[in-house]
Chains A and B, each alone.
Chain A
Amino acid sequence: MDISDLNGTYQIALASNIHDIAPGYHDFGEAMVEIMNGQINGKDVGGITFSGQIDLAPVASPDDVLVDIVIDPRTGVADAVVYHYDGTLKREPVNHKIGMKLIKANNSVKLKGTLNIGPVRIEVIVRKVEQEK
């Protein structure tokens, strides 16, 4: 498999336990990104920017791909913030590295993974919605 095999448009669905950690805050829950030759670019429904890269994981890894992504809330709605590794919610970019499994079924392509940032757990599903044009 080549990383360019993943080229296309993807919907990200995510949910976290932020409501337990910081009551009153909620996830935007959905983003759309383009993956092109390993480069990721897109925004969530709150305008927060997702950018980074995706690479094939080493053969010995339990994951299929490794995602290195920057989440930047400065492009989002006025009160958009993201959870940082120091335990604070800030309107500053944060970098995440997450290993994900690739699941193919019929004609669909999905990636699944879990990101843990201290007490915050984020469950992530990435679903291909369109082939590259």
Chain B
Amino acid sequence: MKSFTLQPVQEDVLVQITATNELLEVIDTLNKVADKATGDQKDAVSMVIKKLNDVSDRLIDNATATSNFIRQVA
């Protein structure tokens, strides 16, 4: 029998949330670019923002699911 620690999983959640916060910073910057862009460029930047936002939602979902796992086994 061996004991185990949840610390690596806790660190993983912190990394996920920190990375998502950095991704949101990128989205914030791209929003400013989109405000100034026109035509095809505006459409392209808007598409990138949408995709990054979808990724941020998936990262948040994954982080909260991992937090839920930690609560269940702690």
A residues with a Cβ closer than 8 A to B are 11, 13-20, 23, 26-30, 45-46, 101, 103-106, 108, 110, 112-114, 123-125, 127
A–B complex contacts, Cβ < 8 Å, 9 sampled: A23-B7, A26-B10, A29-B70, A29-B71, A105-B27, A105-B31, A108-B57, A110-B24, A123-B18
C-alpha spacing A16/B27, complex, angstroms: 23
Residues on A with beta carbons closer than 8 Å to the beta carbon of B57? 108, 127
Question: Which single residue of chain B is at the shortest CB-CB distance from A30?
Answer: B64
B residues with a Cβ closer than 8 A to A are 5-7, 10-11, 13-14, 16-18, 20-21, 24-25, 27-28, 31, 49-50, 52-53, 56-57, 60, 63-64, 67-68, 70-71, 74
Tell me the dominant secondary structure on chain B's binding face.
helix
| Other 9 A-B pairs with CB < 8 A, given A19-B6, A30-B64, A108-B53 | A11-B64, A13-B17, A13-B60, A17-B14, A27-B13, A29-B64, A29-B67, A29-B71, A113-B21
A30–B7 touching, CB < 8 Å: no
Closest CB in chain A relative to B72 CB, distance in Å: 11
